[in-house]
Amino acid sequence: MPYSGALRIALVAPPLERVPPRAYGGTERIVHELVLELDRRGHNVTLFASGDSEPPANGQLIATVGEALRPTGFGGDASPYFYSTILDVLHRADEFDLIHAHLDWPGILLAHVSPTPVINTFHGRIDFPFAGRLFEDAPRGLVAISRAQAHLCPEVPWEAVVHNGLNLADAPFERRAGEELCFVGRIAPEKGVVDAIEVARLAGRKLRIAAKIGPRPDERAYYENVFMPALKAAGSNVEFLGEVGPHDRDRLFAESAASLMPGSWPEPFGLVAIESLACGTPVIARRAGGLPEILRDGVDGFLADDSQAMAFSVGRLDRLDRQAIRASVLERFSAERMTNDYLAVYRAMLDHMGRGVEPRLAASAARDRWAAASATDGPESEARQPALRTINAPIEAAASRRPD
């Protein structure tokens, strides 16, 4: 039977940033947009996220940690918090029609053991040595955020590709922008900020850089040993603004002739690109990752393969229609469109699998054994030993040295 009514949906965010994040945090921004849209449409939304997150207007927030980890300066191994997030979700799995997890790899584990259908959106890169093992005998419900990301692991039976979407309607717009270029992102090797400086130099344009300094030691080293010397060498042609908030970022986009995304890595999607386009600002990007799916080459900007080609395309920016760029991205990458797509995935999963599913692991054995197990003492039986007693018992047993 088709599911057309309101759904009870669990949205599961990582414990790293609040929902929505105060600054960086692409995954948490997308989760926030889904919470808003699904809630607005009358679905019953439960958000599993850090306790300082924004609760759904008509739903419930389940705190997986008191406060988001990263803003508190947490830099250790976060995996125990993912384990407890999975347990939190499993404890309440019965309360939902489906679970939409945004945890990447731990979500695979959740999907294998959950009695409720699980949709897993992968937000990060997936081309890791362990990917083959974790995608083995893959559960249903795996969603990529670009075809490029999906095709890194083509053997995975992807349920769907759903491009990200944001509420972009309030982005500022300038019909006549300035001559300057901009770079928005992070000072990290894969983001290509040094290439951006080179593009600006070759094109004879000024460049303004609004970027967070990556916190990892290798990113710090890159900042000091690679970025700073390049910035210094560029002199007054390049201005480094540091990290800026959303408002200043959008002003920067709106005033720029184009934004540069020369990063040479398989960027799974590229939220910066749609933010720039929403201000009407074309994007000149490397032909890599999800960017060719966002940018219509020659319409929304230009795709190119190196700094010289990108600099060459700067001379063709005048041909582009900033208003059309803005209109198209608001249509193609809205939170509404993304939510429509996910609802289609939800309904396809439910129509196919039913609201209750057999967990792929664990449950079949449990089924066979249930009759026997339930007839004897269960784990909650009062025959369970009190803690202290239990602690000492084997020690005494060892002392009495029973033969085996």
Helices 335-353 and 26-40: angle between axes, nearest 10 degrees: 70
By beta-carbon proximity to a copy of itself, the closer residue of 140 and 322 is 140
How many whole angstroms from its chain centre is CA 65?
18
Within positions 70 to 109, which residues make up the interface with a copy of itself, using CB under 8 A?
Answer: 77, 79-84, 86-87, 90-91, 93-94, 105-106, 108-109
404 sits near a copy of itself (criterion: CB under 8 A) = yes
> Could you say which of 32, 102, 140, 326 contacts a copy of itself (CB under 8 A)?
140
Q: Which of 348, 330, 327 is nearest to 338 (CA)?
A: 330
Exactly one of 5, 170, 376, 382 binds a copy of itself (CB under 8 A); that residue is: 376
The torsion angles phi and psi of 99, rounded to 5 degrees, stand at -120, 125
Nearer to a copy of itself, 15 or 263 (CB): 15
* Dihedral, 249, 255, 256, 257 alpha carbons, nearest 10: 150
Total chain residues near a copy of itself (CB under 8 A) = 93
Q: Binding mask 36-75 vs a copy of itself (x if CB under 8 A, - otherwise)?
A: -----x----------------------------------
Q: Is 230 in the site for a copy of itself (CB under 8 A)?
A: no
Out of 2, 318, 319, 383, the only residue in the binding site for a copy of itself (CB under 8 A) is: 383
The strand pairing partners of 120, in sequence order, are: 101, 142
Report the residue from 5, 130, 175, 225 that binds a copy of itself according to the rule CB under 8 A.
130
Task: Taking the CA atoms of 361, 362, 363 and 368 in sequence, report the sign of the dihedral they define.
Answer: positive
Give the residue, chosen from 2, 5, 73, 133, that forms a contact with a copy of itself under the rule CB under 8 A: 133
DSSP secondary structure letter of residue 223: I
Residue with smaller CB distance to a copy of itself, 15 or 185 = 15
Q: Least distance (Å) from a copy of itself to the CB of residue 208?
A: 34
**Residue 318 or 380 with smaller CB distance to a copy of itself:** 380
The gap from C-alpha 266 to its chain's centroid, in whole angstroms, comes to 14
Q: Which residues contact 148 (CB under 8 A, 6 or more apart)?
A: 266, 268, 288, 289, 290, 292, 293
As given in the structure block, the two tokens for residue 136 are: 């083995």
Chain position carrying tokens 């790293």: 16
- When the beta carbons of 41 and 201 are compared against a copy of itself, the nearer one is 41
Name the E strands within 64-195: 98-101, 118-121, 142-144, 160-161, 181-187
Binder of a copy of itself out of 7, 11, 36, 162 (CB under 8 A): 162
Q: What is the DSSP letter of 307?
A: H
224 touches a copy of itself by CB under 8 A: no
Verify binding: residue 368, a copy of itself, rule CB under 8 A: yes
Q: Which is nearer to a copy of itself, 62 or 207 (CB)?
A: 62
Residues 273-332 contacting a copy of itself, CB under 8 A: none
Interactions with a copy of itself, residue window 328-367 (CB under 8 A) = 337, 339-341, 343-345, 352-363, 365-367
Q: Which run of H or of E encompasses 235?
A: none
Is position 270 an interface residue for a copy of itself (rule: CB under 8 A)? no
Query: 248 and 286 in contact (C-beta within 8 Å)?
Result: no
Q: Is 369 an interacting residue with respect to a copy of itself (CB under 8 A)?
A: yes
Asked if 251 touches a copy of itself (CB under 8 A), the answer is no
What separation in angstroms does the CA of 245 have from each of 22, 28, 135, 252, 278? Answer: 9, 16, 37, 11, 16
Least spacing, CB of residue 83 vs a copy of itself, in Å = 5
Q: Quote the least distance from Cβ 156 to a copy of itself, whole Å.
A: 7
Sign of the CA dihedral with 364 first, then 368, 371, and 374 last: negative
Among 2, 5, 73, 154, binds a copy of itself (CB under 8 A): 154
What is the nearest approach in angstroms of a copy of itself to the Cβ of residue 119?
12
Q: How far apart are CA 331 and CA 195, in angstroms?
A: 31
